[in-house]
Amino acid sequence: MSTLEIRDLHVSVTADGGEREILRGVNLTVATGEIHAIMGPNGSGKSTLAYSIAGHPKYTVTSGEVLLDGENMLEMSVDERARAGLFLAMQYPVEVPGVSVSNFLRTAAAAVRGEAPRVREWVGELNEAMKSLSMDSAFASRNVNEGFSGGEKKRHEILQMQLLNPKFAVLDETDSGLDVDALKVVSEGVNALQQRGNVGTLLITHYTRILRYVKPDFVHVFVGGQIVAEGGAELAEELEASGYERFVQQAGAAL
């Protein structure tokens, strides 16, 4: 079993000519085989947590640690974090004109695995993974995210995750912009990887609708750059019924 440990993480960003603290002491441990849902209102710092773990240069870690099996990820480059077993599914995937999905994914797999998959084996592996996500085989020859619908972009993110087989997957609002059918397909892809038992998932979302299909083991409420409440799936049901207001008020009173 592997663990991803976030210890007293403080993160700032440069804004309006000065430093603004966004994360104010986040503590969280995720083990392989577990699904942790991070839920909170807009501007609470959820996406900042995701990008800080992945090493986005926009965010400055001012104190704290992020450990993957005891190794300090904050001392690693972005590609080293990926090779160590971290995967980030972005809320807004970028286009890569001129690069086909197949070549992009094979290059990524080669970087993570240490060698390029043989072409014939790769084609079979890719086709099988696309079939599981209800993706047409012609998708592999399209340029990465160019002209993709929102659902296609999110399917592509889950396709990457399945093929790269990370130890830990951070899914930043993977459910945003998806219709019901696309949401079900994406959720099935997450669940299929989770059933292998060798991945821990940090699922960041505003809404509970994806949690109808991807069942979390733990739910964490994020307000003001901190985790202010924790519980099981029943906590998500409470948020669905009453929203975040109670937690926002409690966090405000504590400041």
Helices (H), the chain: 46-54, 78-84, 101-113, 119-132, 150-164, 180-194, 233-242, 245-254
Please, are residues 158 and 189 in contact by the beta-carbon 8 Å criterion?
yes
Domain count, the chain: 1
Please, are residues 219 and 233 in contact by the beta-carbon 8 Å criterion?
yes
CATH number at residue 213: 3.40.50.300
Please, are residues 30 and 212 in contact by the beta-carbon 8 Å criterion?
no
Residue-range definition of the domain harbouring residue 111:
3-254
In this predicted model, what pLDDT tens digit does every residue of 13-63 receive, in sequence order? 987 777 899 999 999 999 999 999 999 988 899 999 999 999 999 999 999
Which of 67-76, 99-108, 234-243 has the least mean pLDDT? 234-243
pLDDT of residue 151: 82
pLDDT of residue 254: 54
Residue 253 has pLDDT above 60, yes or no: no
For 142-148, what is the mean pLDDT? 91
* Gap between the Cα atoms of 195 and 175, Å rounded: 20
53: phi then psi, degrees, rounded to nearest 5? -60, -40
User: Which residue has tokens 């079993």?
Assistant: 1
In this predicted model, what pLDDT tens digit does every residue of 166-223 receive, in sequence order? 999 999 888 887 888 888 888 888 888 888 878 999 999 988 888 989 999 999 999 9
